[in-house]
């Protein structure tokens, strides 16, 4: 990014209706607490401002990345571009059994809102870190359900900054995938279709899910969730890694979780390189032992792309 233009960019982004910060540490915005400063960190307060910011970034050919809850990304020691955060796009309201949520709404706010409104159907996502936008992009799922099952409509910004509405049938939801990945769309909001339910029963289901998460996942340390995509339905990545004796393997501050070998946790001071080294070691060992080539579910962001 050209030095002489930084003040201009800053002013334009700010005036589009966004919070703008310089040299913002990305470890503050990722659940694994990894990532050095981003040159510019922008959080638009409205969809119009998001669209304007993206128009500016594209027309100036500035490198940028979208971040939601930061629960699926591993950031570099420095990002020489602009990070656009959806965290200020967090309107949440319901109308009967329909719930409208902007992209930056946390999944947990959505769940708690549904409980307060006595709406059932989405409890399976209880405890999932991350935002509505990030979860829709990758059709996040847990305990037999996927977010796409409960989505009625999604609005996204296309490459030209135009808001497009699609119903769930045309959103291409499949295992950890949606059309928003292939079209490069930025999810701005979603409407969920739920059912009326009994609050105490909803709370009971939430508690049950939370207990399962606590017993299975290494929530005591920062992480970015499951590192690898399950390559086929009957291939369990965590137990394969465990069988190969890689549990507790450590590089720098990053460690293959002792509790669930499908997770890499930050035991303190981990950097992107530590995680990458572990990922490559696991991939190599799994391929040698099983012939299966693992691909990552987590995204590894480069300094500039
Ligand atoms: C402890 C733990 C447990 C987890 N458990 C699960 C689980 O059970 N099931 C599961 O599926 N996942 C799980 N995850 C992974 C993660 O929470 C989900 O993938 C989540 O949906 C990511 O959302 P996010 O907002 O954090 O995305 P981010 O990490 O911010 O971004 C991930 C990707 O989405 C893009 N993105 C973010 N917002 C938008 C948007 N509005 N429009 C377009 N692109 C966008 C980013 O550019 C990036 O490419 C877990 C993670 C952790 C840390």
- Closest ligand 1 atom to residue 71 Cα is 26
Q: Say how many Å lie between the CA of residue 138 and the centre of ligand 1.
A: 7
- Using pLDDT thresholds of 50, 70 and 90, give the confidence band for residue 43: very high
The catalytic position among 21, 78, 153, 176 is 176
Quote the ligand 1 centre to 190 CA distance (angstroms). Answer: 15
Percent of the chain with pLDDT over 90: 88
- In the residue annotation, 48 being an active-site residue is answered as no
Report which of 168, 286, 181 is spatially closest to residue 235, judged by C-alpha positions: 286
**pLDDT attached to residue 5:** 65
Q: Say yes or no: CB of residue 190 within 6 Å of ligand 1.
A: no
Cα 108 vs. chain centroid, distance in angstroms?
13
Closest alpha carbon to 82 in 161, 185, 1? 1
- What is d(CA 138, CA 175) in angstroms, rounded to the nearest whole number? 8
Q: Are strands 37-44 and 64-67 parallel, antiparallel or unpaired?
A: unpaired
Give me the count of residues in the chain.
Answer: 305
296 lines ligand 1 (CB under 6 A): no
SS3 254: strand
Distance separating alpha carbons of residues 20 and 110, to the nearest angstrom? 26
- What is the average per-residue pLDDT within 124-131? 97
Q: In the predicted model, what is the mean pLDDT of residues 238-246?
A: 96
Test site for ligand 1: of 51, 87, 128, most ligand atoms within 8 A of the Cβ: 128
Pocket test for ligand 1, best of 64, 72, 148 (most atoms within 8 A of CB): 72
Q: Map out the domains of the chain with their CATH numbers.
A: 3-85 (3.30.43.10), 92-214 (3.30.465.10), 218-300 (3.90.78.10)
Give the mean pLDDT of 199-203.
98
Instruction: Say what the pLDDT of residue 4 is.
Output: 47
* Active-site residue flag, 60: no
Q: What's the rounded mean pLDDT across residues 176-203? A: 96
User: Ligand 1 mean position to 135 CA, how many Å?
Assistant: 5
Which of 28, 44, 66, 227 is the best mutation target for the ligand 1 pocket, counting ligand atoms within 8 Å of the beta carbon and taking the most?
Answer: 66
The predicted-structure confidence for 131-164, as pLDDT tens digits, reads as follows 999 999 999 999 999 999 999 999 999 988 899 9
Cβ of 158 less than 6 Å from ligand 1: no
Backbone angles phi, psi at 265, to 5 degrees: -110, 155
Rounded to the nearest angstrom, the distance between the alpha carbon of 79 and the centre of ligand 1 is: 19
Does residue 102 or residue 13 have the better pLDDT? 102
For atom 12 of ligand 1, which residue has the closest CA? 140
Angle (deg, nearest 10), helices 47-59 and 6-15: 160
For residue 130, the ligand 1 atom closest to its alpha carbon is: 26
Chain Cα centroid distance, residue 137? 8
Task: Considering the candidates 226, 242, 255, 257, report the single residue annotated as catalytic.
Answer: 226
Among 74, 71, 98, 75, smallest CA distance to 87 is for 71
Closest C-alpha among 186, 177, 149, 210 to residue 68: 186
- Helix then strand then coil, % of the chain, to nearest 5: 35, 30, 35
Verify whether residue 299 is a known catalytic residue: no
227 lines ligand 1 (CB under 6 A): no
- Residue found by looking up tokens 């981990």 in the block: 270
């Amino acid at each position: 990014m050209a030095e002489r233009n930084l003040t201009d960019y800053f002013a334009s982004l700010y005036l589009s209706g966004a919070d703008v910060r310089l040299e913002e540490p990305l470890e503050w915005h990722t659940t694994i607490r990894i990532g050095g400063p981003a040159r510019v960190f922008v959080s638009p307060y409205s969809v119009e401002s998001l669209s304007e910011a993206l128009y500016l970034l594209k027309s100036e050919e500035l490198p940028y990345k979208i971040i939601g809850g930061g629960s699926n990304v591993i950031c570099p020691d420095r990002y020489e571009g602009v990070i656009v955060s959806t965290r200020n796009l967090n309107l949440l309201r319901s109308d009967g059994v329909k719930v409208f949520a902007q992209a930056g709404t946390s999944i947990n706010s959505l769940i708690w809102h549904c409980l307060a409104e006595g709406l059932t159907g989405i409890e399976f996502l209880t405890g999932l870190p991350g935002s509505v936008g990030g979860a829709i992009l990758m059709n996040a799922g847990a305990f037999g359900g996927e977010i796409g099952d409960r989505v009625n409509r999604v609005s996204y910004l296309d490459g030209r900054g135009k808001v497009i509405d699609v119903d769930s049938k045309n959103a291409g939801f499949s295992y950890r995938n949606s059309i928003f990945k292939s079209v490069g769309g930025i999810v701005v909001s979603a409407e969920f279709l739920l059912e009326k339910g009994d609050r105490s029963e909803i709370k009971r289901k939430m508690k049950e899910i939370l207990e399962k998460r606590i017993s299975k996942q290494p929530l005591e340390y920062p992480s970015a969730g499951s590192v690898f995509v399950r390559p086929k339905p009957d291939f369990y990545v965590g137990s394969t890694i465990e069988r190969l004796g890689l549990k507790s393997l450590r590089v720098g501050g990053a460690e293959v979780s002792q509790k669930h070998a499908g997770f890499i946790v930050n035991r303190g001071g981990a950097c992107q390189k530590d995680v990458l080294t572990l990922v490559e070691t696991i991939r190599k060992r799994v391929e040698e032992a099983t012939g299966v080539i693992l691909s990552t579910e987590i995204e590894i962001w480069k300094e500039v792309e």
